[in-house]
Amino acid sequence: MIELKVERMRCGGCAATVRAAVAEVAPKARMEIEIATGTLRVEGEADEARVRAAIERAGYGVA
């Protein structure tokens, strides 16, 4: 499981953007997003470096 803190993810639209970005690099992974804490959890076939890069390409930071 990958757990990341996504910076500037503050609303449902932001979460949808992050979810779509991660789905491009890990289409079979299961995602859980907590907007209140900015937390993203990814389970399944996913490479952390590719997930981080996808989130950053979408305009968000990863802590």
Domain of 18: which CATH number?
3.30.70.100
pTM: 0.93
Q: Tell me which residue range forms the domain holding 14.
A: 1-62
Instruction: State the pLDDT confidence band at 47, using cuts at 50, 70 and 90.
Output: very high
Mean pLDDT of 53-63: 97
* Distance separating alpha carbons of residues 5 and 40, to the nearest angstrom: 6
- Check: CB of residue 6 under 8 Å from CB of residue 35: no
**Structure confidence by residue, pLDDT tens digits, 4-46:** 999 999 999 999 999 999 999 999 999 999 999 999 999 999 9
Three-state DSSP state, 2: strand
Q: How many domains does the chain have?
A: 1
